[in-house]
Amino acid sequence: MTTSDTTSPAVLEQLQRRSGDPERRILFTGATIVTMDPDRGVLHNADLLVEGETITAIGSGLIRDGAVVVDATGTILTPGFVDTHRHAWETQLRRIMPDVDDLGAYVMSTLAGYATVYRPDDMYVGTKLAALTAIDSGITCMLDFSHNSRTPEHSDAAVQALIDTGIRGVHASMGPHFGDWDEQWPGDLARLKEKYFAGDDELLTLRLAALATDEIAGPALAYGPELARTAGELGIGVSVDAVFGASSSAAVLNWEKEGLLGADVTLVHATGLTQEAWKAIGESGTTISLAPTSDAQIGLETAIPAVDEALAVRVRPGLSIDVEVALVSDMFTQMRALHAIQRMRAVNAVHGTDQQPARITTHDVLDFATLQGARTNGLQHVTGSLTPGKKADLLVIQAEDLNNMPLNDPIGTVVLGSDARNISAVLINGEPRKWNGQVLDVDLAALRDEVHASREYVLHTPTA
């Protein structure tokens, strides 16, 4: 038995030596555990046991025999965050257009421009950088809405990047909006499933990605009966992007009539939808992915994240990073942005009256970023809460760092006080992916060379 904390290289060496061992036991002791399990809540001065890939016990005074014991005193253990929608291939173009004014400017510069010259290697580099950054900031599960699948090799590269980083990855595949491509999608989904997703390993899952309407890129990419049939035959979920406004509201009502809504379908953004569309979403159990900074900063439809509309029909949404060409990379910012925007609107709506504002809480946004994100990605039975029987996707957050001490309210500390520097350790599927504040197994200098070379190629290659 070895006892230390998450700064110990000796403990990390011992854990890595037994990587993949289903009998390896890790016992975190003395932590404040924010389980996000509705039946367990927050536990103080508690222990958590990981055996192999799985959380097997949470409580006090857990048996230490044969375990690597990690002293987690002064830390908060939480589930890893879940990103329900990110276009990971774009990451080497980070903040290239930080003050983008509208969706059209993004579409024309990125999807009609840069995307058309991407090689499979560029897909790999962008997706890998996105996944490693996600891990660094505590995102243990990421849905990659990979809408630049120009060839089978482009898709293979994006999937391989998820595999190589060790993130719990959801590959949502879609053909490109513009430019030349092999038109292998959606037929290529069957090959992808056979090659990468045929087993029971839920570290990697597959979804079909589509657009809400044919307005941007034509009917081939728009969700409807044919694409729904393809997803159903493959037994995979569907993520639908660009859901906003009157045309998407009409599409939602058509999907309802055709029986194309349900818990295995995620609608991304959902801004500016009609009450009738929201009623259909709520009654069908369709899931929602909100992109708080994307909606507000880029100005998508109403520019207001649709959290109130979702909650009004009993849908608890997941959260999304979206596009790093203009936005931040981390979930802390998404939670804070949504928390502030909704509470501002709630108070403003009743200002000057004797009504009480209906405000969301820090617990709500942490729930959206964890358990509801897992449900949105179809993985609520696997991740999203610290519950015995679920996979060990968890964060160790330093609660006594300069910017967090003293620890008073643990959920408030996670949502409003913490950032990536406070995450001392990240486990995904029971494996350490970040330790002592550093993402593991990354040659940063080599990665930097790859990212810069890819960016230079993309920026300086003439587009079609």
Same fold, 2-79+384-439 and 81-376: no
Beta bridge mates, 70: 4, 28
Architecture in CATH for domain 2-79+384-439: Roll (2.30)
Distance CA 235, CA 264 (A): 10
- Take residue 301 and report the two structure tokens written for it: 């439809």
d(Cα 180, Cα 229) in Å, to the nearest integer? 26
Confirm if 327 and 299 have CB atoms less than 8 A apart. Answer: no
How far from 326 is each of 76, 244, 448, 458, CA to CA, in Å?
31, 19, 20, 17
Q: How far apart are CA 375 and CA 356, in angstroms?
A: 31
Domains in the chain: boundaries: 2-79+384-439, 81-376
Q: Who contacts 405 (Cβ-Cβ below 8 Å, separation ≥6)?
A: 399
Q: What is the largest CA-CA distance in the chain?
A: 64
pLDDT at 37: 98
Q: How far apart are CA 319 and CA 36, in angstroms?
A: 16
**pLDDT beneath 50: ranges in the chain:** 1-3
For 421, half-sphere exposure in the C-beta direction (CA atoms, 13 angstrom radius) is 6
Give residue 2's pLDDT: 45
**Cβ contact 410:324 at 8 Å:** no
d(CA 314, CA 308): 10
pLDDT tens track for 326-379: 999 999 999 999 999 999 999 999 999 999 999 999 999 999 999 999 999 999
Superfamily of domain 81-376 in CATH is Metal-dependent hydrolases (3.20.20.140)
Given a contact cutoff of 8 angstroms between Cβ atoms, the answer to whether 72 and 11 are in contact is: no
Which of 190, 197, 136 is closest to 170 using CA atoms? 197
Structure tokens at 348: 């403003």
Q: 391: which strand partners?
A: 54
**Token pair for residue 256?**
């309802």
Task: Enumerate the β-bridge partners of residue 93.
Answer: none
Cβ partners under 8 Å of residue 25, min gap 6: 49, 50, 51, 66, 67, 68
Helices 120-136 and 152-165 pack at an angle, to 10 degrees, of 30
Decide if 144 contacts 172 (C-beta within 8 A): yes
Q: Which two tokens stand for residue 380?
A: 């609520």
Residue 78: strand pairing partners:
395
pTM of the model: 0.97
Residue 1: per-residue pLDDT: 43
Dist. CA 149–CA 160, nearest whole Å: 14
Spatial contact of 210 and 227, defined as CB atoms under 8 Å apart: yes
Q: Is 448 exposed, middle or buried (0-12, 13-18, 19+ CB in 10 A)?
A: exposed
Euclidean distance between CA atoms 424 and 98, whole angstroms: 29
Give me the pLDDT at residue 4, please. 61
